[in-house]
Structure 1
Amino acid sequence: MRYQKSGKTDEELEEILEAFLMEQEGMMKKWLKKVSLPRYLTDELSLVTKTDLDKIRKNLGIKNVSQLNKKDLIVELVKQIPATISENIVKLDVEAYSLVKKVVKHSFYHTDTENIELQKVQYLQDLLLVFPGEYQGKPGLYMTEEIKKVFSENDGPELETIVRRNTEWITLTHGMLYYYGFLDIHNLMKLMKKYTDKDVPVNEFLDALLFAAKYYEQIIPVLNGFEDYRVENSTLLAEEQQRRNDLSFYPFTKKQLLEAGQQDFVETTPEIKQFIKLLQQHFTLTKADIEDIVFDITVKVNTEASPTEMMDYLQEHFEIPSFKFMEQITEKLMNIHNSTRMWVLKGHKPKELFHEEKKHLQPLPTAPFSMKPTTNNKVVDINSYKKTGRNELCPCGSGKKFKKCCIKS
């Protein structure tokens, strides 16, 4: 059997694909724009509309020029933009800095869309740091002479130190939000000081994170802090965390957070590996399939999906061959739930808190695969799991007796 990657209809998939291709086509047109070198700010600004110029002005924080016509606005922007570039390059991390430096070094840095993420280039273009185009028949990136001059004047050991500091801030923040889901500014800065063993200047710190939010799209700034991009409602998550005032954020090592802060990181626990092994015994799974499943299951545990929702997800992707197999899957899902670091538990695993607080807990329910918490650790009682009798409620969550429901499978 093959793993079906989506539960969406063919029509929905076609609409999504069409929208994606249109977006990619628009970005590709920029890559195919033929240019001659050297290039100047006037050359680039003359190619965009007055509306786009206003967006550039707002993005760079240039004020009191909105009333100007396009020609005069370009003249004013050319005057003011170099000063804003000095402010923006100190927000870069190692990856973005290295890319910009390659463009400066080569005047035109030859690269294609397969070797670079378009949204990153788009954001650097929004900051007017680099531009995509085609030069001498090859796609790549270039920089205007004015910006190149400003970057070269500011580059050096001091900027490199700032860039390395930004990179550590960004990576640690990505790692913390991977495990905690949401952090308000106070806790984020408190933890950052702990892991870097240095005072954290708030304005420079927030500038670096706001840059990373748009460049990497892994974290999202919200009203009073930052959330991981997988979080659906940081307000509710924050309330859940606040209810556990007696529970500290799990004390990860700095190494653990730096690893979790890498792009596309997904923690694969032994319990998840066992779950995947069971699936591979019945289905053909590619490496990409496995990555998708691990990602989805981890998110669903963290968003407290009900047992029925978890089974619905699996049934959208797989044809369950038998009830025995479903029972095996159910047990594996319970194990995953109990061993996953949860946002609402501030990075703790339910089973960690269960063992720590066992003496103070009320007896757990005997109903199999009950994800409804009876204590703050939200642990699922695996030991209470037993084979379902014919006249007992079906574990699929339908509310029917087993003999009138899934036993027929």
Structure 2
Amino acid sequence: MKETKDNTYLKTNEASKIAGVRKEDELENFSYEDEDEIIKSELKKELKSWKPIEEDFSLEYHLNRLTKAELLNIARNLYINKISSLKKEELKNRILEFYEEKVHFLIENIDVERFEFLIDLARKKFCKVRYTNIQINDIGYFRDMAFLFTGILNGEDVIIMPEELQKIVLNKDNKSLRDRMENNGQVIKLFWGMCNYYGVIHIDDFKQLIKKYIDFDLSSMDLKVVLENGAAYYNEFEYDGNIGNDALVDNVDAIFLKQHKRIDLDFYPFKKEELLAAARADFQDKTKAYKRFYSFLINNFDIDVDVAEDLIFSLEADIKNNEKISEAISDFLSNFQLSNVNESSFIGSEVIKFANNIRQWIIKGYTPAELSSSTVVNKKKIGRNDPCPCGSGKKYKKCCGRG
């Protein structure tokens, strides 16, 4: 194999590094000029939120500084209804009217991590931004709910909490609320973990699956708000009120339909600690299959560690998105300069081994290798007039049974 390492090397593709997981339709005509425009656009948008401000902690002062579009966004994020036809001044007044009520509601539906951020800021009233320890995405999340505002004060970037929220946050800090937030956090992380391993998960399936992982009742929890805001904050999974999905899923409907046609197959029974471990922004399931394939790349090709990990990450995303194995192999091989067919076959066979031993979304978190065992399949028969197991409420013959 030493000969392969000497004669084969990885192509460099900075554009795909910048863009993350490669999507051919998005990057087909990608150029550095496009990249510059994207960066400039995002920077321009962000800079609009960092203008000189007065040392004023009133909510009304900061709302007055915003555009109608920004006020509309805040009102929606505060779950204030009947706002689409309001003028700017009316929007501002509606937010002022409902702010305290909605803040109490939202705080009760976040997790401890976000509350700790709010507590810290409430004690300071404002703080100078140190970009090494404050995430701009976190600031944007809270700014979109009018939980904080940003600007330049005495020549320095600062974030300010309005005094109306400061009083609420400091007064609400108690054990009962923190216990509730701990439960919220568990639910978010378990949902996130399931999105990672199953790709797509319907809320009805989630409610059934989570029962074995928690010792508290979900009936008093506003799951929609908890999960919507968890998705917005962590930005690693999505939730539309019915279906959640991993951020890397290309076609939610396609994965969902494939899953629920497998009525013979229950969702893979992960351990609680496995799901919680998967609820992490930098999570990579480094199974035996992963480690074997990683070693194969490092030992046989002249590539560094980071590039090997990126290649595996991208390949795994393609496979989980149910891309044809021939196309996944072709995409993977395009990263290499190969001198003969034998080298292509050599790599392709390892890709197939890897694909057969990773947890795939359309088969509900199982690996193809696991499904080769007949003991995995649920032999329960479902009649055509029985309720469809996908939770749609329709009869099986009119839903997933149509295929």
Report how far residue 146 of structure 1 moved. Answer: 1.0
Match of 2:123 in 1: 105
Aligned partner of 2:35 among 5, 9, 16:
16
Once the two structures are superposed, residues 315-347 of structure 1 have per-residue CA deviations (whole angstroms, 9 ceiling, x without a partner) of: 432222443322221121111111011111111
Once the two structures are superposed, residues 163-183 of structure 1 have per-residue CA deviations (whole angstroms, 9 ceiling, x without a partner) of: 111111111111111111111
Unmatched tracts of structure 1, length 5 or more: 360-409
Once the two structures are superposed, residues 162-221 of structure 1 have per-residue CA deviations (whole angstroms, 9 ceiling, x without a partner) of: 211111111111111111111111110111122113321265222110101111122222
What does 1:163-178 correspond to in 2, within 5 Å?
Answer: 163-178=181-196
Q: Conserved in 2, the CA contact under 8 Å of 1:4 and 1:316?
A: no
Report the CA distance shift for 1:311/1:171 in structure 2 as closer, same or farther (over 3 A): same
What does 1:185-204 correspond to in 2, within 5 Å?
Answer: 185-201=203-219, 203-204=221-222
Q: Conserved in 1, the CA contact under 8 Å of 2:143 and 2:149?
A: yes
CA RMSD for the aligned pairs?
Answer: 2.6
Q: Which amino acid aligns with 2:363?
A: L
TM-score if structure 2 supplies the norm length?
0.80
The whole-number CA distance in structure 2 between the counterparts of 1:67 and 1:312 is 52
Are residues 1:25 and 2:33 paired?
no
Stretch of structure 1 that moved more, 33-42 or 251-260: 33-42
Stretch of structure 1 that moved more, 70-79 or 262-271: 70-79
Q: Conserved in 2, the CA contact under 8 Å of 1:266 and 1:294?
A: no
Report how far residue 103 of structure 1 moved. Answer: 0.8
Stretch of structure 1 that moved more, 345-354 or 100-109: 100-109
Q: Identity, % of aligned pairs?
A: 26
Report how far residue 13 of structure 1 moved. Answer: 4.1
Match of 1:117 in 2: 135
- Aligned residue for 1:339, secondary structure, equals coil
Report the CA distance shift for 1:235/1:64 in structure 2 as closer, same or farther (over 3 A): closer
- Aligned residue for 2:360, secondary structure, equals coil
Q: Which amino acid aligns with 2:45?
A: G
Aligned partner of 2:321 among 287, 303, 307:
303
Q: Which amino acid aligns with 2:149?
A: F
Once the two structures are superposed, residues 100-135 of structure 1 have per-residue CA deviations (whole angstroms, 9 ceiling, x without a partner) of: 111112222333334333233212111111222334
Match of 1:51 in 2: 69
Match of 2:401 in 1: none
The whole-number CA distance in structure 2 between the counterparts of 1:96 and 1:70 is 29
Report the CA distance shift for 1:121/1:321 in structure 2 as closer, same or farther (over 3 A): farther
Report the CA distance shift for 1:321/1:102 in structure 2 as closer, same or farther (over 3 A): farther
Unmatched tracts of structure 2, length 5 or more: 1-8, 17-21, 378-403
Q: Conserved in 1, the CA contact under 8 Å of 2:333 and 2:344?
A: no
TM-score if structure 1 supplies the norm length?
0.79
Once the two structures are superposed, residues 281-317 of structure 1 have per-residue CA deviations (whole angstroms, 9 ceiling, x without a partner) of: 3232242x23322221111111222233223322432
Q: Which amino acid aligns with 1:100?
A: L
Q: Which gives a bigger RCO, structure 1 or 2 (Cα 8 Å, sep 6+)? A: 2
Report the CA distance shift for 1:336/1:136 in structure 2 as closer, same or farther (over 3 A): same
Match of 2:382 in 1: none
Q: Rg bigger for which structure?
A: 1
Match of 2:396 in 1: none
- Aligned residue for 1:183, secondary structure, equals strand
